[in-house]
Amino acid sequence: MDEFDMYLTGRNSSPRFWLMRIPNVAGDRGPAVAALLNESEAGPAFASSQVSPRLDDAALLDEYSRTVVSAADRVGPAVVNIDIKQRLESQRGPREVGGSGSGFVIAPDGFILTNSHVVHAANQIAVSLPDGREYAAQLVGDDPDTDLAVIRIDAPHLAHVRLADSETLRVGQVVIAIGNPLGFQASVTAGVISALGRSMHAQSGRLIDNIIQTDAALNPGNSGGPLVNSAGEVIGVNTAMIRPAQGICFAIASNTAKFVAGWLIKEGKIRRSYIGVGGQNVPIHRRIVRFYNLPLETGVLVVSVEKNSPAEQTGLREGDVIVAFDAKPIGSIHELHKMLMGEQIGVQSEITIVRHTEKLALAITPVESPSRTAVSR
């Protein structure tokens, strides 16, 4: 193998040289090696293919800034501050405590979506709009099981948001959180979706599935505010953060919010059945989909089974994948939640699962959610 000596000089005019011995492998690779060390040695063809890092980064940052500004401008006018007063009983007698949170207008006639833990058991609710107007609010409906609530103010023609389809979200997608952390109104933070399909416990004890994890900074007071995509559409309701950690925050998916808010506005509460499983959306192997001719390529993975629940009595196990309920395909946790409503309480139904590679149909009778009976209405 032949070798050649190549002398390279630095970019500045100072007489500094380095002597390198580079093996001459098959073909003339001198210019390519030189290009890695000094693009001027590679000639005009190499130089013309380069893009200025500074200009490229500046353009990307400018576009990112415009995206965040545009989303904030679209959603900001619909984000409100919520102040509450709650009467608590103590050994020294009753006392009144205050609290605050965020919310956002979902209908022009004054319906506002927020977290249940922001307004639950409040004696007084006051709403401040971005333009400075203040209104007393009434509780329309409260669902601690999903940590969602709807309140209403008597104000027409309000700016309102659009709820997007959270099933189309992707990890790494840019998101913007808007709210009133620590009393600082209309604060905007940005980040990305860190993970999808998380689960967390509501204050009622029920496991909330399909949670969005983000690194967009949330602080006390952000609860109930919107998590927004780059198009200015709401994809989640900010609900929690892990205090000791940085960049680990959670939001309830917009599809869950749409479903719950609709029932709260219609009936003021949600009477739901449950089967006693914790789940996670998962893809199903294509061979299983083809072999059993399944209509959907996703299902709900059973990650936990509650003691003495209908699921345990039926024989569901961790690792099973739910693909149908009552002869209707189930491709996500959201679809399963929609099936487990009040009319299913005490009604025997068929649940279809895939266990390893075997498809099974089991009889199950949902019962009323125990958290529902524990919460006074």
Which active-site residues does the annotation give? Answer: 117, 147, 223
What span, in angstroms and rounded, lies between the C-alpha atoms of 354 and 340? 20
Task: Could you list the beta-strand ranges (E) of 161-262.
Answer: 174-179, 187-201, 207-214, 226-228, 234-241, 249-253
Secondary structure class of 348 (helix, strand, coil) = coil
The tokens for 338 are 């929609």
The neighbour count for residue 377, using CB atoms within 10 Å, is 8
Q: Which helix (H) or strand (E) holds 140?
A: strand 134-143
Rounded CA-CA distance 250/216 in Å is 9
Question: How many residues are recorded in the chain?
Answer: 377
The three-state (H, E, C) secondary structure of 80-133, written as one string: EEEEEEEEECCCCCCEEEEEEEEEEECCCCCEEEECHHHHCCCCEEEEECCCCC
